[in-house]
Structure 1
Amino acid sequence: MTTPTPGTSGTSGTSGTEPARYDVGGVLLPRPFKIRRFGHFGFNSDHLDESIAFYTDLLGFRVTDEVSLLDQVPPELRSLVEGVVTDPRMIFTSNSSDHHALLLAHRTFGTVNGNDRIAKDITLSQITWQVGTLQEVHDAEEYLRAKGVEFGRVGRDMPGGNWHIYFRDPDDNMVELYYGMEQVGWSRNSKPHAMHYRGFDDRPPLPQMSEAAEVREALDKGIDIHSGWRPAESHLAETHDVGGILLPRPFKVTKLGPVSVFTERMDEMVTYYTELLGFEHVEESAYRGKRIVFLRNGTEHHSFVLADKALRGMLGLSEHSSCLSMGMEVGSYRQLRAAVEFLQSHGHTLVEGIPPELYAGIDYAAHLRDPDGHLVCLYYYMEQVGWDGRPRPSSERRTVTGTWPDALEPLSDTYVDQTYMGPLG
C-alpha cells in the first residue's frame, strides 16, 4: 500500500479497493487525526449566576476568564446581538491547568451561536475533543469538508488560545476538535487580553510560532504578561482535609467526562462518531427496551454515551436539554462518599433511580442537578480497556450495594488511570 506523506490526504491501495490511510505522526490511521481525550464543554444557562456559583463554589471549578459576547462580534452585528442576548457574559472555568474545561453563558448565547436553530433542547454550546497536533486540526478540516460535514468556525479562539475547527453532528450538536489549550500556572493568572491579538478567525497558515515565541513577542511589545485574569476565591474557607491538603470542599474534580446525550437518530449518530470521527464501539445496554451505546476514544470504558431520547421522560429528567449527563471524576472513593455528604449538607438532593445501564464501566456514582436541571454524574472509577480492546464482562463487574461500604476491595484497574497532574488546590 502506498504510504501518504505527512500532512496530505490519504491514498488508497494500488488495487483501488483498500481504504485510504493517513500518516499521523508516523503511524498509518484510517483518518488524518486521532482524538486523544474529551477536552471541554459549554452549557447555555437560563440561570447563569446560580450556575456559576454551582460549578465554582460547590464543585470547585475556578473562573479563569470573563469576556462579553458583545466584544467578540463584529461592530456591524453588535446591535443585532444586543437585541437577542439577555446577558452577554461568557464565563470560562477550569478544574485543572487547562484554561477552561467548562464555558458558561446565558441561554440566549445559544440562540446567537446557532445551538438551538433546529433542536430547541440543545443546551450544550459545544462538545470538544482534543487531538495531538495543529497539523491534525488542519488536516481534519480538509477531511471532514470532503465528507460533507457542515462547518461553523475555523481558527483560534481567545481566551484559551486553542486552535480549532467547529462542525455539526447529525443531531446538530456543535462539535469541536482542537489543539493547544492555554495552560494556567501556579499563579492562577490567565493570558492577558492584550495578547489576544494572536487569535485567528479563519484557517491559519502552517507552521505557526510556538507559545514560547508568543510570550517573547508580547514582552517585546511591552505587554505585562502577568496582568491576566486571576480568580477571586477568598470567600471560600479551606477547612476540608483532602488527602493532606486543605480545600473548601472534601473532594476534587480531577477529570472531566464522559459526555452522555439523548438522541432520536441512534444509528446515524453511532455511524458518525465511529466511522467519521474514529470512536470505538465498546458495548451496548438497554433500559426498559431502549438502546444505550457506549463509545470510547482512549483506554477508558467510554468517553461518549448515546441514549434513546425516549428514556428522558421515562427517567423524569429535564425535557429542556438533550444532555443526559456530564461525568466528573473525583480523586478517590473516599472523596466520592465525602462529596455526597457535603452536597446533601448544602441542601442538594441527589437524583435517585438513574439506572446503572446508563453508566456501564462505572460502579459507585452520585447524580445531582445543576440550577438548569442538567445532570452531573460524580464518580471515582472508570473501567479501563486493555490492548485487545475488550471491556470487562458484565458478570465480572463490581456489584453496587444500596448501602455504600466504608471501603472497597480493589479491582485490577482501580486507580490505574493517569493521576491528576497539578496540586489539588
Structure 2
Amino acid sequence: MTSADQQPVAPIRTRKLGHLVLMVRDLEASTRFYTEVMGLRVSDRIGDQMVFLRAGEDHHDLALSRIPDDAPDRDDLPRYTRPGLEHFSYYVESVEEMRRAVDVARQLGVTIERGIGQHGPGANWFLVFKDPDGNNVEIYTDMDQIPMDADHQPQTWERNLESFDRHRLAHFVVQPPAAVLAAKDGKKDTGKKD
C-alpha cells in the first residue's frame, strides 16, 4: 500500500481481538439467547437500541444493536439494515497508539470511518476504519473492566451523543455520520429516511 517514493510505515500495534457488534432484528430475543444459552452477562444498555454483554472482565466482548423497525430486508451491509456484523475490534495499548494509527491510515490511504472518540458504555476509546471489502474494523483502548466476582448493576444509558462519544466529537479526525451530527445539534434522530 506504499508507493515507491514513500518510506514504509510501521503497522498499527494491535494486541488482541477485542469485541464484536452484531446487528439484530429482535434485541430482547438475542439478549436472552446470549445470556440464557451462551452464559454472557449484561454490562449496560443504550435505551432500546443496544445491549453490551461480557463473558470475561472486559466491559463487553459482544454488543447487540437493534436494526431499525423500518429497515428494508436487503443485503446492504453499509447501511446496517440486516442482521450481521457491524464491526469487530482489536485492542491497542494507548490513546497515543490510536493517534499514531490515524497517521498510519492516512499514509496508506485507508478510509477512517469514525473516531477518535470515547464511548459512554465501557468508556473505551475508539477509531474505526474500512477494510478493502468495506467491513468496519475498530481499534480500541482503555475499556472498563468488571471483575468476575463484582456485583455489577447494568446501567441504561440514554440514546444520545454522550453515549456515543463522551467528548461530543472533540477528538474526531473525520466528519461524523449525519445521525451523529444531528445528535450533536440536539436534533432527534429517528433513524428514518425522509
| Structure with more relative contact order (C-alpha pairs < 8 Å, separation 6 or more) | 2
1:144 CA displacement: 0.4
1:165 and 1:38 mapped to 2: Cα distance? 14
1:32-51 alignment runs, 5 A limit: 33-51=12-30
* Structure 2 equivalent of residue 161 of structure 1: 123
1:341-380 alignment runs, 5 A limit: none
1:93 to 1:170, Cα distance in 2 relative to 1, 3 A: same
- Kindly indicate whether the alpha-carbon contact (under 8 Å) linking 2:25 and 2:67 is maintained by their aligned counterparts in 1: yes
- Kindly indicate whether the alpha-carbon contact (under 8 Å) linking 2:44 and 2:157 is maintained by their aligned counterparts in 1: no
1:19-418 alignment runs, 5 A limit: 19-20=7-8, 30-31=10-11, 33-68=12-47, 88-108=48-68, 116-117=77-78, 123-154=84-115, 155-185=117-147, 186-189=150-153, 199-200=166-167, 201-203=169-171
1:191 and 1:139 mapped to 2: Cα distance? 33
1:46 CA displacement: 1.7
2:109 and 2:81 mapped to 1: Cα distance? 24
2:37 and 2:15 mapped to 1: Cα distance? 29
1:136 to 1:190, Cα distance in 2 relative to 1, 3 A: farther
1:98 CA displacement: 0.8
SS in 2 for 1:161: coil
Unpaired runs of 5+ residues, structure 2, are 173-194
2:170 and 2:142 mapped to 1: Cα distance? 16
Unpaired runs of 5+ residues, structure 1, are 1-15, 22-29, 69-87, 205-425
Equivalenced residue count is: 156
* Structure 1 equivalent of residue 192 of structure 2: none
Q: Which structure is larger by alpha-carbon Rg, 1 or 2?
A: 1
1:179 to 1:119, Cα distance in 2 relative to 1, 3 A: closer
* Structure 2 equivalent of residue 26 of structure 1: none
1:119 to 1:182, Cα distance in 2 relative to 1, 3 A: closer
SS in 1 for 2:78: coil
2:107 and 2:8 mapped to 1: Cα distance? 13
SS in 2 for 1:117: helix
1:202 to 1:147, Cα distance in 2 relative to 1, 3 A: farther
2:22 and 2:156 mapped to 1: Cα distance? 24
1:230-269 deviation per Cα after TM superposition (whole angstroms, max 9, x unaligned): xxxxxxxxxxxxxxxxxxxxxxxxxxxxxxxxxxxxxxxx
The CA RMSD over aligned residues, in Å, is 3.1
- Identity among equivalent pairs (%): 27
- Kindly indicate whether the alpha-carbon contact (under 8 Å) linking 1:131 and 1:137 is maintained by their aligned counterparts in 2: yes
2:137 and 2:17 mapped to 1: Cα distance? 11
SS in 2 for 1:136: helix
The amino acid that maps onto 1:20 is: P
